[in-house]
Structure 1
Amino acid sequence: MISKTKSEQYSESHRFFSNDRNAMFRPLNGKYREVTVTCMKLLYRRLYSSMADYGHALTREQLLEIFLEALARNPDWELDGDSDTDLQGPKSNRETALHLLNQLSDYGWLEIQVDEVNLSSRYHFTRAGRLFTQCFVELEGKNVRTRHRNTRNTRNALTAFASTHEVYDLLDAFEFSERIISDFTDVITELEERKRLLVHDMEVTQLIQRASDEFFEFMERRFQPDVAVRLSADSVEKHRDEIVILLGRIRRLPKANKVAAERKLRELLPDQVVENQSLLWFILEQIEQRVINACEIMLPALRESLRNFTRRADIIIRQMTFLASQRNHDVSSVCKALCHLDSPEQSRRLEVAAEIMSPLSITLQDPKQMQLREYRVVEPVNTLMEADVDVDEYDRRELFIQNALDQAFTLHDENSRKYLESQLREGQMITNDKLPITSARELLAAVNLVGLAATNTRSSEYQFEIHPTGNSVSTDYLTCTDQFTIRLSKKD
């Protein structure tokens, strides 16, 4: 006898279609497949939801009552064109329920446990049957599931492991990180499916209203509580940096803690152990890679899928608006109907329409609503930029002198002004007692000539130098005044 190798034994033990599961999906291929799924969903809720009575197992009669309820909910459960060799001819609901119970038990969905004390049978799901039925229940979308919190749960589990070094926290983080990718895939698949339904419903005019109702229901009950949160408040990008920092912190743990965690992981996950490879490092790398893939691949794909879905919805809204606007504007149909009539009939119908439209409706205008609005002319704005004009040193000096004299005092006599400009322009010094005075204003200007020093801050290139000579002089108008000199120079 040839003994089987270890790898062959391992492959047989992990083979799905073996023993009782050779034809597991046969109940889902006959004409009773729809009612079979309904029976399994009702049984799942009876065993694992809030309706479950965990203190008592289901008996055969209780199970048949659940199946009879499923048959009552689906009066048209037979599918035309299909045949079932195990159940031919018209049967009662109880016989059909017995047939479904036997099929689910024979093909690996349900298992029977016999109580040896009272010789009664108890029914419950097999492990594979429970997992597959759970998928049918979740497809209805009635269960409350906060799928957008898996990124936050991954961060919290890593924080707990970094603090307490409890291996189960790391395994929780590993599981939550896997759900991040699967949840993105579920949402993208759901959006694509809804987009196909929208396109299909748009092809039939009668289904446009239903398609629009489903779109708004999705935006209110599905998008706002889940997808919108996933894209904003609980986005995977928001927690990515924190998760990467936590992973680095775990990698820098003391060697003793990492060895203990590695040993515990190998005890809990013997199937994942690979020779010459750290299981702890593998889990940390997988978590980091999943978060990176969620940020760089899945999140952009979700945004693109949502953009396509809203674009399709926008087409529906536009089409609904067009149909609503055409509902009361049937002029084209009236014209087409009149084209097929003879001239006397056309004239008669038009005269009837004219009599109906002939009464006048006179109303008074509200004076408050009648306002004259001023016509405003918008002046064009010239946005052209003029080129800078280079001014040489001679012109800059002359402009500074003129501005300084205008700011300090006003000289009305043209000759006196030209004298001061010429003297200062050439860099010569002038004294206050040599200024020509021909009027009272020029006398006041000469007395306040020292005010030129206040204009030094108006230029960054030139300045006035005013120095007292220490002498006292007399002029035609003043018996005694201090003498000082004035000269224009460049700043240092």
Structure 2
Amino acid sequence: MFFTDSRLHFFRPLVGKYREVVVECVRLLYQKLYTDLTGYGQSHGRDFVIDVFVEAIARAPLLDEEVGAPEGRFKDARALAGFILNNLLDNGWMERRLDEATLQSHYGFTRMGRGFAQPFVESGKLEYRSRNRNTRNTRNSLQAFAEKGEVYDLLDALEYSERIISDFADTIAELEERRLQLVREVESRQLIEQAADQFFDFIDTVFKPDLEVRLSADSVEKYRDQIASLIRQVRRRRKYGEGEHAELLWQTVMEMRLRKLLPGRVVEGQSLLENIVHTIEERLQSACDIMLPALRRALNSFTARADIIIRQLSYLHRQADEPLLDACSRLREMSPDNQEQALQRMGQVLAGVRSGWPASEQFVLRSRNRRRTVRATLANAPGLDRDAQKAQFISQVLDQAFHVSSQHIRAYVSDKLITQGRVYSKHLAVQDARQLLALAHVVSLAGERLDNGFEILIHPARSDSAGLQVFEASNCGDGYFDSRENFELELVDRQRAS
């Protein structure tokens, strides 16, 4: 379980008016401990952590206090830093370690705390991160595995294939988030130019170096055939040909190595190698058939929002140079009497204006699309003549004449099996054609299991010379066979036997 012991209220520090302050403290402490901001050789005692938290508190804003929040007021930043440190220690984010040599306490993240702190750091990074080589890395790792037989290359290919899907999802989510951000900023006229600058900056810094490569050089469709060929090469049966495993199949040796390396993923009756290869194949197919079209739809939606921004920018610039629009907006704010006087003055000014027809190139004749008429009614099938009807009737009768179902065969032998438990096929009488067909197919009941736990077993009836008994027509008693084999039918109760 996750919420046990010290992690019983793991997310409690992220609740309350200081939640943004806690996130900034966790982010900055992570950078001080594990990134290039690390002070090498510096002791990570309580004073060091408090100083880091005080620096983070100066950066982070204070949010509104929630109802029932346990936080109080603190006289200075160091008191708040001490409260946050104790809160992180009590809820499993950080731990205190005692140095037995110097008897001094050192502070650091727990394993879970470090894992949850890393996304806070990555979400705040602004530098470029390469996310467009995972398809090529999957191809290269599979190729190395097929050539050298190192199972670690196969596991690398499995990890890279998972990143293909996750990177697509991250990019789609980022595009959707930026599109919604543009919608909110465009609604305010004061932020229209800022939104335009952010959009064009995003196109230059993200779209061209990342998405353009993802859709061209690192396209999953481009490397799909190469990866599929490598997977077929991995599945091809061949001798290993080296050392003590020279006579074993290459797939068998790889399976043995994978099972030794990953005993927890072994499923009885299934090949671990085949499961991993099949997972890579399914992820690549999902990336091509599902994620790539979704990315294209997100790009189309984002560029449509860009078109709206450009249109609004051009409208605002055109509106700033149009005195007529400015005059109309002023008239709208006037009273009716003042509007009448202003319109009379404007009429005198505009008396010399000449009107004319608009330019012909501004008009585009659009033709209406014709609706296609689809006839959905079904025509009646032509009637058959008497000869065709007779041929169809004979064909149906012949098909049904030699049809034998397992239910009919069971009914044929059920009476004697219920009373005796076993019966020989030579004792089954034939009185009509259906019983004759059932007797000819009686061996098809072998191994049939019924819903109530019973099973029918059929054994060849052996003679003294250990051969199968074959009866002549005079001994059959029915006159339908020249000779036939004798079998023993037995009804077994599997529930009672178990």
TM bucket, shorter chain: 0.5 to 0.7
Q: 1:168 to 1:343 in 2, by over 3 A?
A: closer
Give 1:141 deviation, angstroms: 4.0
1:269 paired to 2:254: no
Distance 1:336 1:313 in 2: 28
Q: Is the CA contact 1:32–1:77 (under 8 Å) kept in the aligned structure 2?
A: yes
Distance 1:160 1:57 in 2: 44
Give 1:103 deviation, angstroms: 0.9
Identity %: 48
Partner of 1:58: 44
Give 1:345 deviation, angstroms: 8.0
1:92 paired to 2:92: no
Q: Equivalent residue of 1:123, what SS?
A: strand
1:196 paired to 2:180: yes
Distance 1:280 1:292 in 2: 19
Q: 1:268 to 1:333 in 2, by over 3 A?
A: same
1:161 paired to 2:154: no
Distance 1:267 1:124 in 2: 34
Q: Equivalent residue of 1:148, what SS?
A: coil
Distance 1:275 1:54 in 2: 49
Give 1:151 deviation, angstroms: 0.7
Q: Is the CA contact 2:16–2:65 (under 8 Å) kept in the aligned structure 1?
A: no
Distance 2:298 2:227 in 1: 26
Distance 2:68 2:163 in 1: 40
Q: Which has the larger radius of gyration?
A: 1
Give 1:350 deviation, angstroms: 7.3
1:32 paired to 2:25: no
Partner of 2:91: 107
Structure 1: any 5+ residue segments left out of the alignment? 1-14, 355-492
Q: 1:174 to 1:337 in 2, by over 3 A?
A: closer
Q: Give the letter for the 2:185 counterpart.
A: D
Q: Which TM-score applies when normalising by structure 2?
A: 0.64
Partner of 2:412: none
1:260 paired to 2:244: no
Q: Equivalent residue of 1:121, what SS?
A: strand
Q: Equivalent residue of 1:217, what SS?
A: helix
Distance 1:161 1:244 in 2: 14
Q: Is the CA contact 1:31–1:78 (under 8 Å) kept in the aligned structure 2?
A: yes
Q: Equivalent residue of 1:112, what SS?
A: strand
Give 1:202 deviation, angstroms: 2.1
Q: Is the CA contact 1:31–1:83 (under 8 Å) kept in the aligned structure 2?
A: no
Give 1:164 deviation, angstroms: 1.3
Q: Give the letter for the 2:289 counterpart.
A: E
1:184 paired to 2:168: yes
Deviations 1:139-171, CA, capped at 9 Å, x for gaps: 224244211101111111111111211111111
1:301 paired to 2:269: no
Q: Which TM-score applies when normalising by structure 1?
A: 0.64
Partner of 1:220: 204
Q: 1:294 to 1:138 in 2, by over 3 A?
A: same
Partner of 1:209: 193
1:77 paired to 2:62: yes
Distance 1:347 1:227 in 2: 55
Partner of 1:290: 283
Distance 1:311 1:345 in 2: 44
Q: Is the CA contact 1:236–1:295 (under 8 Å) kept in the aligned structure 2?
A: yes
Q: Is the CA contact 2:54–2:78 (under 8 Å) kept in the aligned structure 1?
A: yes
Partner of 1:439: none
Q: Equivalent residue of 1:37, what SS?
A: helix
Q: 1:168 to 1:53 in 2, by over 3 A?
A: farther
Distance 2:257 2:159 in 1: 17
Q: Give the letter for the 1:279 counterpart.
A: L
After the TM superposition, which of the residue ranges 339-348 and 302-311 deviates more from structure 2? 339-348
Partner of 2:317: 324
Q: Is the CA contact 1:57–1:123 (under 8 Å) kept in the aligned structure 2?
A: no
Q: Is the CA contact 1:180–1:294 (under 8 Å) kept in the aligned structure 2?
A: yes
Q: Is the CA contact 2:161–2:283 (under 8 Å) kept in the aligned structure 1?
A: yes
Q: Equivalent residue of 2:133, what SS?
A: helix
Report the count of equivalent residues: 339
Q: Equivalent residue of 2:97, what SS?
A: strand
Q: 1:335 to 1:169 in 2, by over 3 A?
A: closer
Q: Is the CA contact 2:93–2:112 (under 8 Å) kept in the aligned structure 1?
A: yes
Partner of 1:139: 123
Give 1:55 deviation, angstroms: 5.0
1:279 paired to 2:265: no
Give 1:333 deviation, angstroms: 3.3
Give 1:336 deviation, angstroms: 5.4
Alpha-carbon RMSD across the aligned residues, in angstroms, is 2.6
Q: 1:304 to 1:141 in 2, by over 3 A?
A: farther
After the TM superposition, which of the residue ranges 296-305 and 267-276 deviates more from structure 2? 267-276
Give 1:211 deviation, angstroms: 1.7
Q: Equivalent residue of 1:122, what SS?
A: strand
Q: Equivalent residue of 2:301, what SS?
A: helix
1:240-259 counterparts in 2 under 5 A? 240-252=224-236, 253-254=238-239, 255-259=248-252
Structure 2: any 5+ residue segments left out of the alignment? 240-247, 351-498
Deviations 1:380-399, CA, capped at 9 Å, x for gaps: xxxxxxxxxxxxxxxxxxxx
Partner of 1:150: 134
Partner of 1:401: none
Q: Equivalent residue of 1:124, what SS?
A: strand
Distance 2:262 2:291 in 1: 28
